């Protein structure tokens, strides 16, 4: 990743290195500050949509943390910037947007795609770019393209298995828990929170993963519940 090209847009942006493909597809990402970012999906004229959003938040007491997220920084929303991002959403051309107000994450397969996007469409709002992320070098990019996850330290296991978020029966959850427990920590490791989730009566599983030295565990987990394994990633240590 050529840092010199990015600091020309915004010398204050931070640089991160990609350790895992975003959404299993993208290597590069920029994060832009964009209050009211959810309005890029609105079909109304942006000025009207923003006015309506602000009016609604005046009369609703969300309360608590989620309420703070819903109304955060609306006074700094920029109609022109929102219109540009909405146009990108409508005509993605290989670009993906993810809104997490007050920020929008923009993903691409190549660094050049993002550089062109900023130069051609986002340049007037370059100060809104807070960070850029991409592979540290060509070797890291090649490893990431194999589907591996990059690590700085050895965790003692060679693979990371991602369990698919979803709702499962209590029997399936207990069967998964029993199988992983019987394997022992030398073969598979699940966090305490992961064990607790599998033991709960609730059928939902989310953000569950495990480390292992035996990737064939994925096959046995899928026999318990077909499709329960979302991905199995090799862990690669890079200096």
Q: Are residues 100 and 135 in the same domain?
A: yes
**208 phi, psi to nearest 5 deg:** -100, 130
Q: Are residues 164 and 217 in the same domain?
A: yes
Q: Are residues 72 and 190 in the same domain?
A: no
Q: Kindly report the pTM of this predicted structure.
A: 0.85
Rounded to 5°, the CA angle 130-134-136 comes to 120
Q: How large is the average pLDDT for residues 143-154?
A: 94
Q: Are residues 18 and 103 in the same domain?
A: yes
Full domain range(s) for residue 135: 3-144
CB of 53 closer than 8 Å to CB of 74: yes
Q: Are residues 131 and 227 in the same domain?
A: no
CB of 82 closer than 8 Å to CB of 36: yes
Which residues have CB under 8 Å from 58's CB, separation 6+?
none
Q: How large is the average pLDDT for residues 192-199?
A: 90
Q: How many domains does the chain have?
A: 2
Task: Give the model confidence (pLDDT) of 91-104 as tens digits.
Answer: 988 999 999 999 99
**Mean pLDDT over each residue of the chain, to the nearest integer:** 91
Q: How large is the average pLDDT for residues 166-174?
A: 92
Q: Are residues 80 and 115 in the same domain?
A: yes
Choose among 132, 135, 105, 154: nearest CA to 97. 105
> Last residue of some domain: 144, 161, 191?
144
Give the pLDDT of residue 68.
53
Asked if omega into 95 is within 30° of 0 (cis), the reply is: no
Give the pLDDT of residue 65.
47
CB of 109 closer than 8 Å to CB of 28: yes
Has residue 70 got a pLDDT over 80? no
Beta strands in the chain (DSSP E): 14-17, 28-33, 96-100, 103-108, 129-134, 149-151, 159-163, 166-167, 188-190, 204-205, 209-212, 229-237
């Amino acid at each position: 990743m050529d840092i010199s090209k990015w600091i020309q847009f915004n010398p204050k942006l931070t640089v991160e290195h990609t350790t895992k493909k975003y959404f299993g597809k993208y290597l590069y990402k920029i994060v832009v500050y964009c209050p009211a970012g959810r309005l890029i999906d609105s079909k109304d004229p942006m000025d009207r949509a923003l006015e309506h959003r602000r009016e609604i938040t005046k009369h609703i007491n969300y309360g608590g943390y989620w309420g703070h997220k819903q109304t955060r920084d609306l006074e700094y929303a920029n109609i022109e910037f929102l219109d540009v991002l909405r146009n990108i959403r409508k005509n993605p051309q290989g670009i993906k947007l993810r809104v997490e107000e007050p920020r929008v994450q923009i993903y691409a397969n190549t660094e050049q795609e993002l550089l062109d996007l900023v130069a051609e469409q986002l340049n007037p709002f370059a100060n809104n770019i807070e960070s850029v992320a991409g592979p540290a070098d060509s070797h890291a990019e090649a490893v990431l393209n194999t589907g591996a996850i990059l690590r700085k330290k050895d965790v003692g296991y060679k693979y990371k298995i991602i369990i698919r978020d979803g709702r499962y029966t209590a029997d399936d959850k207990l069967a998964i828990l029993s199988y992983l427990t019987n394997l022992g920590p030398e073969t598979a490791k699940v966090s305490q929170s992961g064990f607790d989730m599998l033991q709960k009566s609730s059928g939902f599983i989310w953000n569950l993963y495990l480390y292992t030295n035996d990737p064939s565990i994925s096959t046995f987990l899928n026999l318990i519940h077909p499709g329960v394994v979302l991905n199995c990633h090799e862990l690669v240590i890079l200096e």
